[in-house]
């Protein structure tokens, strides 16, 4: 950019004076040089000689140092003297020999060229030759434009023309590329007219001064100020490094700058900051491998390393992968300065250029200065982080001490300690192993990260196994830097999977008693300073005390729990007549009483006397449920046969316990060996037994046996009371389950397929009708057309609502209890039948209670109940061929605790003899083939499961089905603010891809997007859409899910695999909501899904939410 100056305009020079030994031309209107200011008049008025007028090219005035003229002033005076001497020569075409003052011109530091009015070069000094690379012989006599492109510069050419016109314009700055090394320099250009003896303009003199160093020093000064301010005002390392790389780009005129950390022993250098032209992929890699390039050499040799071209420099060595990265990026020249602080090399500051170039001494010094500042920032940040970390550790220890001092529950306490230990030490995983000194075993209890420890095995180790066993047996800490090379490693696969390498173990002791071992694992070697080690020792001491207190408390708690469990189980066992709940209570209670690994309840089969599991609880519950014991087999079989408690320390090796081969293999696959069998006796008859399993080596104390015997006696009485009732109840439950499965399966097999297909086919044209109708309503349309369009849209919405209700009804799903408004359920169900009822001549009347409180229910099951009641009334009136009316009402009971609903019809009524059987399975009054007799029975069961009542009253001409459900009071929720109309985001030329096989829907979406400024491309299926994605990037993709030429879910997976940036750029539309697998897959991925038919505003709102987080793909 041209930077004009505003020096005094000197039209011509009239005299010269001599001061000392230097002769300098000056204009008459300018004061004497500052070197003579302050002298006496006599000393100033020294004799001088007159010369012809000549140009003053000084360009500006500067204050010199006292006593002598500065070098710049002397140089400019020399230039002026040389130009004055030019006036003594006659310019002309024959001027081919060198002028007599050529020695004076060649001694100038500035580059000087003299041009005649036709821009022919008359003089070209040595400095000009160095600057341009053009010799004097090649320049003199040639036109300036042809000799040097610099004279065609848009800023310099007008300056020369002004000088030829007699003006002395101000200096300007411009850029110039050196021919020898392609280095770009900044020049200051000054021009002045050259007049002959008669005062006529004979040409122009141009002087070019290299000011690159001056400008570079100014940039460096500003950089020093900015970095100094950043270092003193912020402890944020990221902020300081941002300033340094930014100033490196500016001072070094670099195209990219990078700060990396690592020393001579590092295998790779971590990228701390990257700025400039480097690609996002390169910068995001996060590390640069060690090799023989400029960075590695700068770090290893502790000096600045530069290269003109990193790819061709034979003094450097690059690994093939690193060379490929550099070739892909395209940079050539590189300079790397080490980050040195406190006698250590911390990393390097690196600048890149996408052209070849060399580096001067001042540039190297500037880069080293910036690297020094970066090293200071990193060192300061490290110190700050160390101090901050120490404070954090102290706070963490204080918090841990507070928590563990108040905690008495052992499992929760150890989990808290594990998490705090990981936070305190920075380890990836901290875990605790409880010690059993009698058995010399360690049992894993808890860890800081559930995802790591849930797959770890074995969970029990002897003192002779593993690193934790070594810590337990030696009673001292152990640190292992590389566990993969350690012979004590137990589970290599688990260690390799989670990338763990180091281990540190510490014994938790109280006196000579080992309470536990704390184990730390990390991906890097664990190194703790003295302060951290002291904190760990304090932490372990507090943990030991807390664990001991928790053990004492746990034992007291266990005794109290035994009494409470026995009392609670006695109440629960006598409060139910259900066999399975009794068995579950017994299994859980028995395991809790003696802290067993698993417990199972086995009842005697009347047919063959075998023992089958009715309930199981604990870690090996699945195995216990599978076991079937023949009479006299196993501990439970012996207990039943002998009418006594049977105990064995190892069921697999006890010769007194008989086991079949299959049972033995299943027990061997479990984690228990010690077993106790307790018979369930009632009135001298054994109905079953309770079996409990514990880890190998466990024993059952007399207190355990006494507690189990008491529990078994109470459970036996409960079983005897429930046995007969359970037998009948099981038959009824199985029948109901079979009925529900038959009804649901038959309905889903027919209705589900039909509704899914019909809904998909209807939703596409409905989308077009609703979409274009709403677009028309948004425009100014004639009043005569407005009403038909509104009717068209409202009726299309009505059809869409009907389709949705059909899909909801036909979709099979598990019961999901939620707060439900019964008015809404009845409204939706009536919507399914209202048209058919109207066609059958049956009127529908609704009387719904406003403000009806919610009930806790599955809305789809309630919808099934209401539909069965409506169908029952409709079919009764159709068979009587009377037409009639159905009334649906809702209300609230007087006490407000129940919601009451009625379905009333004026049909023929129900016969008095049939009324008591109306809710029985398979009972029907319809003709053969008209019904299954299951609808009302299933409805009765659904209502009963919801804690409600379904009743019926009937007389000729009036039948009333009543439904009563308990009210649930919902939790208060803040009132929602009504949402406004979604804001439309314009495409602004961004590109969207529409993948849709339905032409009309495709046309609608294209219309919506093009109207909002998107550039749109289309594809008719997932496969064609994927071809588009391979060839072009898109800012937005709107796709259907079910298409014949490639489904939407496969298209999404393949597109995201090609370009991960597309993950958040998809919007799916679908009319096939019955396809829950694809629907759930996309919903779980967080992709917006819009169900057809949709309003244009809904689609535009989804586009807005997607587009606001994106930038154009270009």
- Determine how β-strand 256-261 pairs with β-strand 646-648: unpaired
* Per-residue pLDDT at 512: 85
Is 371 in the same domain as 300? yes
Is 222 in the same domain as 189? no
543's enclosing H/E stretch is: helix 530-574
**How far apart (Å, rounded) are the C-alpha atoms in residues 25 and 923?**
129
Tokens of 400: 């841990």
Measured in whole angstroms, the distance separating CA 180 from the mean position of its chain's CA atoms is: 51
Is 481 in the same domain as 369? no
**How far apart (Å, rounded) are the C-alpha atoms in residues 249 and 275?**
8
Residue 868 maps to a domain: yes
**How far apart (Å, rounded) are the C-alpha atoms in residues 114 and 116?**
7
Domain range holding 471?
A: 410-529
For the segment 829-843, the average pLDDT, to the nearest whole number, is 85
For the segment 562-587, the average pLDDT, to the nearest whole number, is 79
Residue 981 maps to a domain: no
Backbone angles phi and psi of 527, in degrees to 5? -125, 120
Is 453 in the same domain as 319? no
**CATH code at 203?**
3.30.450.20
Per-residue pLDDT tens over the stretch 1033-1089:
999 999 998 888 888 889 999 999 998 888 889 999 887 655 666 666 676 777 888
Q: Is the pLDDT reported for residue 205 higher than 80?
A: yes
Last residue of a domain, one of 730, 753, 788: 730
Is 137 in the same domain as 284? no
**How far apart (Å, rounded) are the C-alpha atoms in residues 96 and 141?**
8
For the segment 692-708, the average pLDDT, to the nearest whole number, is 87
Residue 552 maps to a domain: no
Backbone angles phi and psi of 961, in degrees to 5? -95, 130
For 190, half-sphere exposure in the C-beta direction (CA atoms, 13 angstrom radius) is: 24
* Per-residue pLDDT at 24: 35
Residue 738 maps to a domain: no
| pTM for this entry | 0.33
Q: Which residues contact 277 (CB under 8 A, 6 or more apart)?
A: 255, 256, 331, 352, 354
Is 414 in the same domain as 327? no
**Cα first-last separation, the chain:** 30
Angle at which helices 579-594 and 702-747 cross, to 10°: 140
* pLDDT over 70, % of the chain: 77
Q: Which of 515-519, 600-604, 781-785, 1062-1066 has the lowest mean pLDDT?
A: 781-785
Is 203 in the same domain as 227? no
Q: Which of 321-330, 460-469, 541-550, 895-904 has the lowest mean pLDDT?
A: 541-550
Per-residue pLDDT tens over the stretch 970-1029:
554 444 444 445 566 777 888 999 999 889 888 989 998 898 889 999 999 999 999 999
Identify whether the C-beta of residue 271 lies closer than 8 Å to the C-beta of residue 260. Answer: yes
Closest CA to 1009 of 1030, 1025, 1023, 988: 988
* Per-residue pLDDT at 669: 92
Question: Which residues are bridge partners to 847 per DSSP?
Answer: 889
Measured in whole angstroms, the distance separating CA 858 from the mean position of its chain's CA atoms is: 35
Q: Residue 456 class from Cβ within 10 Å (0-12 exposed, 13-18 middle, 19+ buried)?
A: middle
Is 353 in the same domain as 431? no
For the segment 263-283, the average pLDDT, to the nearest whole number, is 83
Identify whether the C-beta of residue 773 lies closer than 8 Å to the C-beta of residue 1097. Answer: no
For the segment 41-63, the average pLDDT, to the nearest whole number, is 39
Residue 432 maps to a domain: yes
Is 90 in the same domain as 45? yes
Q: Is the pLDDT reported for residue 674 higher than 90?
A: yes
Is 202 in the same domain as 224? no
* Per-residue pLDDT at 74: 47
The DSSP string of 878-946 is: HHHT--EEEEEEEEE-TTSSEEEEEEEE-SS---TTTGGGTTSTT---SPTTS--S-HHHHHHHHHHHT
Per-residue pLDDT tens over the stretch 188-204:
888 999 888 788 888 89
**How far apart (Å, rounded) are the C-alpha atoms in residues 136 and 115?**
13
Write down the mean pLDDT value for the chain. Answer: 78
Q: Is the pLDDT reported for residue 903 higher than 90?
A: yes
**How far apart (Å, rounded) are the C-alpha atoms in residues 999 and 679?**
74
* Per-residue pLDDT at 88: 43
Maximal C-alpha separation, the chain: 150
**CATH code at 1064?**
3.40.50.2300
**How far apart (Å, rounded) are the C-alpha atoms in residues 620 and 624?**
6
Tokens of 128: 């000009």
Overall size of the chain counted in residues: 1114
**How far apart (Å, rounded) are the C-alpha atoms in residues 1009 and 1056?**
23
CA angle in degrees (0–180, nearest 5) for 593-594-596:
115
Residue 736 maps to a domain: no
Last residue of a domain, one of 662, 696, 730: 730
Residue 805 maps to a domain: no
Alpha-carbon distances, residue 17 vs 5, 51, 72, 77 (angstroms)? 27, 9, 19, 11
Is 941 in the same domain as 843? yes
**CATH code at 519?**
3.30.450.40
For the segment 717-726, the average pLDDT, to the nearest whole number, is 73
* Per-residue pLDDT at 230: 54
Q: Long-range contact list for 404-409, CB < 8 A, 24+ apart?
A: 404/542, 404/543, 404/546, 405/542, 405/546, 407/546, 407/550, 408/549, 408/550, 408/553, 408/554, 408/557, 409/550, 409/553, 409/554
- Determine how β-strand 305-307 pairs with β-strand 646-648: unpaired
- According to the per-residue pLDDT averaged within each range, which of 141-150, 451-460, 775-784 is highest? 451-460
* Per-residue pLDDT at 122: 87
Confidence band, pLDDT 50/70/90 cuts, at residue 929: very low
**CATH code at 877?**
3.30.565.10
Number of domains in the chain: 6
Last residue of a domain, one of 691, 708, 730: 730
* Per-residue pLDDT at 703: 80
CA angle in degrees (0–180, nearest 5) for 230-233-234:
75
Confidence band, pLDDT 50/70/90 cuts, at residue 511: confident
Is 451 in the same domain as 521? yes
Residue 662 maps to a domain: yes
Burial 640-663 (b: 16+ CB within 10 A, else e): bbeeebbbbeebeebeebebeeeb
Q: Which tops the pLDDT comparison, 179 or 776? A: 776
């Amino acid at each position: 950019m041209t930077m004009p100056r505003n020096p005094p305009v000197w039209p011509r020079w009239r005299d010269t004076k001599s001061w000392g030994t230097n002769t300098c031309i000056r204009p008459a209107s300018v004061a004497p040089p500052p070197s003579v200011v302050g002298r006496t008049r006599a000393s100033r008025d020294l004799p001088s000689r007159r010369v012809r007028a000549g140009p003053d090219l000084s360009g500006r005035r500067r204050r010199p140092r006292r006593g002598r003229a500065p070098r710049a002033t002397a140089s400019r005076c020399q230039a002026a003297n040389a130009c004055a001497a030019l006036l003594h020569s006659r310019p002309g075409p024959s001027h081919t020999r060198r002028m007599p003052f050529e020695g004076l011109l060649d001694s100038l530091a500035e580059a000087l060229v003299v041009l005649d009015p036709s821009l022919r070069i008359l003089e070209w000094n040595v400095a000009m030759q160095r600057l341009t690379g053009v010799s004097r012989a090649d320049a003199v006599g040639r036109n300036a434009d042809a000799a040097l492109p610099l004279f065609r510069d848009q800023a310099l050419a007008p300056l020369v023309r002004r000088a030829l016109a007699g003006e002395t314009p101000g200096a300007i700055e411009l850029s110039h590329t050196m021919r020898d090394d392609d280095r770009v320099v900044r020049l200051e250009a000054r021009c002045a007219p050259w007049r002959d003896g008669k005062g006529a303009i004979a040409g122009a003199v141009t002087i070019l001064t290299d000011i690159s160093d001056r400008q570079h020093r100014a940039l460096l000064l500003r950089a020093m100020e900015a970095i100094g301010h950043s270092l003193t005002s912020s402890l944020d390392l990221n902020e300081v490094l941002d300033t340094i790389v930014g100033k490196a780009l500016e001072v070094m005129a670099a195209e990219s700058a990078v700060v990396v950390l690592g020393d001579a022993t590092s295998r790779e250098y971590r990228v701390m900051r990257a700025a400039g032209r480097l690609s996002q992929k390169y910068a995001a890699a996060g590390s640069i491998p060690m090799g023989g390039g400029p960075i590695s050499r700068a770090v290893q040799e502790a000096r600045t390393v530069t290269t003109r071209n990193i790819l061709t420099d034979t003094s450097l060595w690059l690994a093939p992968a690193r060379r490929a990265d550099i070739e892909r990026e395209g940079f050539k020249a590189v300079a790397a300065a080490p980050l040195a602080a406190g006698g250590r090399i911390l990393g390097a500051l690196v600048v890149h250029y996408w052209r070849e170039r060399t580096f001067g001494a001042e540039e190297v010094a500037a880069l080293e200065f910036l690297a020094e500042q970066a090293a200071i920032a990193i060192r300061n940040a490290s110190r700050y982080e160390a101090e901050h970390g120490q404070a954090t550790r102290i706070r963490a220890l204080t918090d841990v001490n507070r928590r563990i001092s108040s905690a008495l529950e052992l499992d929760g306490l150890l989990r808290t300690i594990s998490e705090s230990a990981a936070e305190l030490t920075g380890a990836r995983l901290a875990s605790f192993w409880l010690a059993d000194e009698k058995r010399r075993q360690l049992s894993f209890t808890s860890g800081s990260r559930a995802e790591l420890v849930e797959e770890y095995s074995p969970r029990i180790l002897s003192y002779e196994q593993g690193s934790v066993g070594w810590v337990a047996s030696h009673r001292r800490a152990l640190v292992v830097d590389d566990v993969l090379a350690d012979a004590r490693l137990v589970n290599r696969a688990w260690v390799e999977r989670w990338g763990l390498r180091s281990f540190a173990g510490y014994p938790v002791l109280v006196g000579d008693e080992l309470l536990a071992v704390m184990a730390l694992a990390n991906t890097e070697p664990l190194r703790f300073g003295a302060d951290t080690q002291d904190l760990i020792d304090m932490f372990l001491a507090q943990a030991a005390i807390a664990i001991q207190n928790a053990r004492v408390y746990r034992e007291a708690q266990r005794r109290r729990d035994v009494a409470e469990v026995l009392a609670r189980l006695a109440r629960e066992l006598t409060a139910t007549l259900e066999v399975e709940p009794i068995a579950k209570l017994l299994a859980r209670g028995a395991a809790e009483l003696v802290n067993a690994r698993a417990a199972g309840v086995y009842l005697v089969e009347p047919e063959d006397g075998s023992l089958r599991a009715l309930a199981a609880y604990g870690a090996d519950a699945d195995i216990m449920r599978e076991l079937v014991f023949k009479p006299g087999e196993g501990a439970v079989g012996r207990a039943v046969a002998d009418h006594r408690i049977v105990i064995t320390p190892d069921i697999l090796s006890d010769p007194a316990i008989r086991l079949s081969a299959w049972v033995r293999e299943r027990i061997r696959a479990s984690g228990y060996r010690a077993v106790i069998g307790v018979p369930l006796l009632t009135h001298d008859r054994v109905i079953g037994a309770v079996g409990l399993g514990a880890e190998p080596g466990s024993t059952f104390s007399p207190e355990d046996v006494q507690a189990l015997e008491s529990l078994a006696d109470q459970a036996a009485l409960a079983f005897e009371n429930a046995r007969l009732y359970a037998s009948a109840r099981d038959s009824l439950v199985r029948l109901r389950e079979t009925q529900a499965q038959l009804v649901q399966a038959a309905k889903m097999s027919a209705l589900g397929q039909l509704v899914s297909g019909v809904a998909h086919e209807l939703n596409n044209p409905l989308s077009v009708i609703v979409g274009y109708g709403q677009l028309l309503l948004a425009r100014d349309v004639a009043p005569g057309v407005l009403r038909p369009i509104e009717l068209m849209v409202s009726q299309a919405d009505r059809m869409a609502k009907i389709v949705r209700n059909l899909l909801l009804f036909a979709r099979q799903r598990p019961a999901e209890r939620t707060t439900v408004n019964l008015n809404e359920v009845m409204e939706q169900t009536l919507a399914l039948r209202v048209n058919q009822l109207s066609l059958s001549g049956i009127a529908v009347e609704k009387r719904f209670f406003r403000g009806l409180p919610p009930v806790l229910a599955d809305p789809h099951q309630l919808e099934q109940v209401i539909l069965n009641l409506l169908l029952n009334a409709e079919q009764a009136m159709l068979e009587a061929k009377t037409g009639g009316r159905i009334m649906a009402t809702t209300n609230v009971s007087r006490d407000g605790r129940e919601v009451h609903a009625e379905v009333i019809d004026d049909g023929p009524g129900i016969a008095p003899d049939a009324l008591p059987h109306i809710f029985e399975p398979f009972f029907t009054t319809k003709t053969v083939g008209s019904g299954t007799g299951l609808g009302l029975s299933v409805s009765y069961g659904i209502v009963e499961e919801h804690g409600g009542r379904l009743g019926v009253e009937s007389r000729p001409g009036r039948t009333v089905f009543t439904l009563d459900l308990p009210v649930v009071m919902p939790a208060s929720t803040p009132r929602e603010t009504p949402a406004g109309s979604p804001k439309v985001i314009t495409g602004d030329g961004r590109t969207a891809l529409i993948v849709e096989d339905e032409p009309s829907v495709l046309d609608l979406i294209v219309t919506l997007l093009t109207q909002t400024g998107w550039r749109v491309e289309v594809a008719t299926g997932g496969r064609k859409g994927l071809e588009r994605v391979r060839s072009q990037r898109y800012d937005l993709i709107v796709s259907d899910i079910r298409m014949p030429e490639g489904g939407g879910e496969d298209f999404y997976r393949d597109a995201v695999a090609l370009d991960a940036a597309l993950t958040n750029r998809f919007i799916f539309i679908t009319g096939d909501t019955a396809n829950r697998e694809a629907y759930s897959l996309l919903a779980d991925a967080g992709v917006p899904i819009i169900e057809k038919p949709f309003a244009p505003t809904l689609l535009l709102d989804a586009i807005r939410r997607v587009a606001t987080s994106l930038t154009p793909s270009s």
